[in-house]
Amino acid sequence: MQTRLDRIEKSIEGLLLGISELTESQKKTDSQILQLRESQKKTDSQISELREAQKKTDSQILELKESQKKTDEQMRRTDAKLDRVGKQLADLGLVQGEVAEELFYRNLRSLFRKRKVKFEKVRRNVRKKGEGEYDIVAVDEGRVLVVEVKNKLEKRMVDEFVEERLPRFKRLFPEYARYRVPAIFPKAPILGSKRNF
């Protein structure tokens, strides 16, 4: 039979064993806490690095936005310049066209006089509003000469004039119905062809 002292001794042994196990468990817990602290330090360091990287990224994004604004402004100025240059080139082409047309108009009679053709009447910019315009129309005995003046002449332009615009001429201007209608283009090289008209 166990005496009270035996029971106390057993309880103390159990208590000491429990304390020993708790001490071991505490050591493991302390070790894990240290590992967690180290891990937390690494995480904090990584978070700090990420914050710095984010600041750099934010700064770069701001720089890109500023750069984009400058690029957009430069593009706007370039577009405006291109519009002005395009208008100037169009105006230049228009002026050259007008000059070429004026020169041919003024010299038409003398050019054809060498071929013994005498025009009774020479008209410029003969048109029916919205339907057709012809640069120069010259009339001699039994013929009406329809002239299209071009700075730069391409085969497709000749084809379109001969096949579409010239046949429409007599319909638009019935006063010339009794005349033969030859067409000429002032002598100019046709792009893509060695022929001149």
- Is pLDDT at 115 greater than 90 in this prediction? no
Average pLDDT of the segment spanning 115-139:
88
Q: What angle do CA 34, 39, 40 make, to 5 degrees?
A: 95
Q: Which two tokens stand for residue 13?
A: 């042994």
What confidence tens digit (pLDDT) does each residue in 35-46 have? 999 999 999 999
- Is pLDDT at 107 greater than 60 in this prediction? yes
Cα(149)–Cα(189) distance, integer angstroms? 12
- Is pLDDT at 92 greater than 70 in this prediction? no
Give this prediction's pTM: 0.48
Average pLDDT of the segment spanning 148-175:
86
- Is pLDDT at 131 greater than 90 in this prediction? no
pLDDT (0 to 100) of residue 67: 93
- Is pLDDT at 195 greater than 80 in this prediction? no
What confidence tens digit (pLDDT) does each residue in 9-62 have? 888 998 889 899 999 999 999 999 999 999 999 999 999 999 999 999 999 999
Q: Which long-range contacts (CB under 8 A, 24 or more apart) does 70-78 make?
A: none
Average pLDDT of the segment spanning 170-183:
84
pLDDT (0 to 100) of residue 114: 79
Average pLDDT of the segment spanning 122-142:
88
Domains of the chain: 117-191 (3.40.1350.10)
- Is pLDDT at 151 greater than 70 in this prediction? yes
Radius of gyration of the chain (CA): 49
